[in-house]
Amino acid sequence: MKKRNKKILFTFDYELFLGKNSGDVLNTIITPTNKILSTLSKLNSRAIFFVDATYITSLIDYAKLHKKCQSDLLYIENQIAAILDGNHDIGLHIHPHWLDATYNSDSGCWDLSEDKKYAADSLSKEELDQIFHASFNALNSLIKNHRPGYKINAFRAGGLCVQPFNLFHPYLHAFKIRNEFSVLRNAELNMIHYKFNFKAVPKADFYIFKEDVLIPDEEGDYVEYSINKFSLSFLAKILNSFYFRLSNLLLKTKNQGVGIVPNIDNNTNQKRSLLMYIKKPATETLSIENINITKFFSYLFYLKNSSYIHFISHPKLIRPGQLLLFYFLISILKIFGSDLNYDYEKWIELKKK
């Protein structure tokens, strides 16, 4: 047994679906997050919830016109209070394409399918100024209502599109946010409206940087906490493939649409031919919504052998059975003597403050 002390990050992107139909706040965010909070509390674990603050500003704008937006905002505010009471962190998450969102007052849901402003580099300077300041202020004031002394100190870019970082730097600097969580190790995405290239990621799991999220620089103001990818074993890949065929056949389950969230991680929970499974290594992010019974031991093996673990999950995608598997995974880790260290701000020291 090696590496008993584990630096561990459980992160959640707290947001609606980002395509044609956003889903309802209760089903998509509030209810699943309550289940997550109760699981984390049983595990005595801490997490970071990256709250989509662009959603909050939209709710504030529309609250004057629609009562439902006002009550949805109250749900979010109360849940943010519950998250803080659970000793978790709130991080800033920004999806600029909320600028083009439309509200459907009949369904109480949003249409976020216009995605040409998905990434920060598609925005004008004025739009960037507006969206960053409005989002930070909206989230910050919700927090301050409940916890005046709390300071937001974590950031994740929408869709992980954090390049070029010089677009983000002036705002994060102004808000004194030092911790960045958008670099998915060795991943690359090249779509019209959203792209990133993290192929040249440094070896270190977390590091100080200054101007470029991929270039460590001890003199910098920021810490990058990179996101792990993990590979399924050959056997797990085959089992997983059968598992999905069988469950699709028996339950006729349809995966909920994830809208235009870019498919960044070759999620293995997809129908693929067996041959494709054999040929291609299946890598995915460590995500609660990716866990199933056939992957349980792959996850356990990976977690047992890693000293740095970065989960990225989405309340909107998690089913209760997966939370139970997650609960067992983490409990088993602890039973086998792993000491889980959640104090990410103490893992590395910035020179400048």
Residue 50 C-beta: closest distance to Zn ion, Å: 7
Separation between Cα atoms, residue 165 and residue 143, nearest integer Å = 26
Asked whether the beta carbons of 181 and 160 are under 8 A apart, the reply is no
Between residues 158 and 315, which has the closer beta carbon with respect to Zn ion?
158
Between residues 312 and 333, which has the closer beta carbon with respect to Zn ion?
312
Between residues 208 and 264, which has the closer beta carbon with respect to Zn ion?
264
Residue 88 C-beta: closest distance to Zn ion, Å: 17
* CA nearest to 264, candidates 242, 240, 290: 290
Please enumerate in sequence order all residues whose Cβ is within 8 A of that of 331, keeping only pairs 6 or more positions apart, or say none: 43
Between residues 108 and 158, which has the closer beta carbon with respect to Zn ion?
158
H, E, C per residue of the chain: CCCCEEEEEEEEEECCCCCCCCCCHHHHHHHHHHHHHHHHHHHCCCCEEEEEHHHHHHHHHHHCCCHHHHHHHHHHHHHHHHHHHCCCEEEEEECHHHHHCEEECCCCEEECCCCCCCCHHHCCHHHHHHHHHHHHHHHHHHHHHHCCCCCCCEEEEHHHCCCCHHHCHHHHHHHCCCEECCCECCCEEECCCCEEECCCCCCCCEEEECCCCCCECCCCCEEEECECEEECCHHHHHHHHHHHHHHHHHHCCCCCCCCCCCCCCCCCCCCCCHHHHHHCCCEEECCHHHCCHHHHHHHHHHHHHCCEEEEEECHHHCCHHHHHHHHHHHHHHHHCCCEEECCHHHCCCCCCC
Task: Count other C-beta atoms under 10 Å from residue 118's C-beta.
Answer: 26
Between residues 13 and 221, which has the closer beta carbon with respect to Zn ion?
13
Between residues 162 and 232, which has the closer beta carbon with respect to Zn ion?
162
Residue 97 C-beta: closest distance to Zn ion, Å: 10
Residue 236 C-beta: closest distance to Zn ion, Å: 27
Between residues 156 and 237, which has the closer beta carbon with respect to Zn ion?
156
| Residues in touch with Zn ion (CB under 5 A) | 13, 15, 158
Q: Which residue is nearest to Zn ion (CB)?
A: 13
Separation between Cα atoms, residue 171 and residue 100, nearest integer Å = 21
Separation between Cα atoms, residue 147 and residue 79, nearest integer Å = 13
Residue 25 C-beta: closest distance to Zn ion, Å: 15
Residue 87 C-beta: closest distance to Zn ion, Å: 23
Token pair listed for 18: 């980002």
Residue 93 C-beta: closest distance to Zn ion, Å: 6
Residue 181 C-beta: closest distance to Zn ion, Å: 11
Residue 15 C-beta: closest distance to Zn ion, Å: 5
Between residues 220 and 259, which has the closer beta carbon with respect to Zn ion?
259
Residue 330 C-beta: closest distance to Zn ion, Å: 24
Between residues 15 and 205, which has the closer beta carbon with respect to Zn ion?
15
Between residues 96 and 158, which has the closer beta carbon with respect to Zn ion?
158
